[in-house]
């Protein structure tokens, strides 16, 4: 893994903080390297810390019985654990590193303090939470109203990205 600067400056959530405010927020963090394929958190794990992805690629996974379902992927600049930090309940999904990664781990109290002290941070967290609610509502509508074939098409369209150098062409790939 390349040398990663241990700072939250590259995390968009903290874009509005000046250097002094950023250092105060960073002072509560612990920094952790994670190897690819290593589990960061187990589903239903105790703990309320929030994690910020400084480098790497992680995946949110839920397990029902022996079946695992990928909920979403996380890239540098993103964060996870905000639900547990806000409601102090067990984790809703497991997190596994897809590639070697560097994380900043922040206690829930420090995360909540950042939300209360910085309105832009609060607004961004609220926007993420609203986005998650809307996404779940859309998925529920798809599950109840679309056939399996049409649900598959909807998922493929969500995963599709414009192909490089090919106007109007979309590509679905797990390579980032």
Please give the DSSP secondary-structure letter assigned to residue 92.
S
CB-CB contact of 13 with 124 (8 Å): yes
Q: Which CATH number fits domain 12-160: 3.50.50.60, 2.40.50.140, 2.60.120.10, 1.10.10.10?
A: 2.60.120.10
Question: CA 85 to CA 14: how far, in whole Å?
Answer: 17
- Domain ranges in the chain are 12-160
Please give the DSSP secondary-structure letter assigned to residue 163.
P
Rounded to 10°, the helix 119-145/148-159 angle is 150
How many residues make up the chain in this entry?
A: 176
φ, ψ for residue 150, nearest 5 deg: -70, -30
pLDDT by residue, tens only, the chain of 176 residues: 566 678 999 999 999 999 999 999 999 999 999 999 999 998 778 899 999 999 999 999 988 888 888 888 999 999 999 999 999 998 888 999 999 999 999 999 999 999 999 999 999 999 999 998 998 888 788 878 888 888 788 777 777 778 777 777 877 776 54
């Amino acid at each position: 893994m390349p040398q990663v600067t241990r700072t939250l400056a590259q995390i968009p959530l903290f874009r509005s903080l000046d250097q002094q405010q950023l250092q105060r927020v960073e002072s509560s963090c612990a920094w952790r390297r994670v190897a690819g394929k290593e589990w960061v958190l187990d589903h239903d794990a105790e703990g309320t810390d929030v994690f910020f992805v400084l480098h790497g690629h992680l995946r949110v996974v839920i397990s029902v019985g022996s079946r695992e379902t990928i909920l979403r992927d996380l890239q540098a600049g993103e964060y996870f654990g905000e639900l547990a930090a806000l409601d102090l309940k067990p984790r809703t999904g497991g997190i596994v590193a897809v590639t070697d990664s560097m994380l900043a781990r922040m206690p829930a109290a420090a995360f909540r303090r950042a939300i209360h002290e910085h309105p832009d941070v609060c607004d961004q967290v609220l926007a993420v939470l609203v986005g998650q609610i809307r996404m779940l509502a859309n998925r529920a509508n798809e599950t109840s109203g679309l056939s399996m074939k049409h649900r598959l098409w909807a998922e493929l369209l969500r995963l599709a990205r414009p192909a490089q150098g090919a106007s109007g062409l979309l590509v679905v790939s797990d390579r980032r």
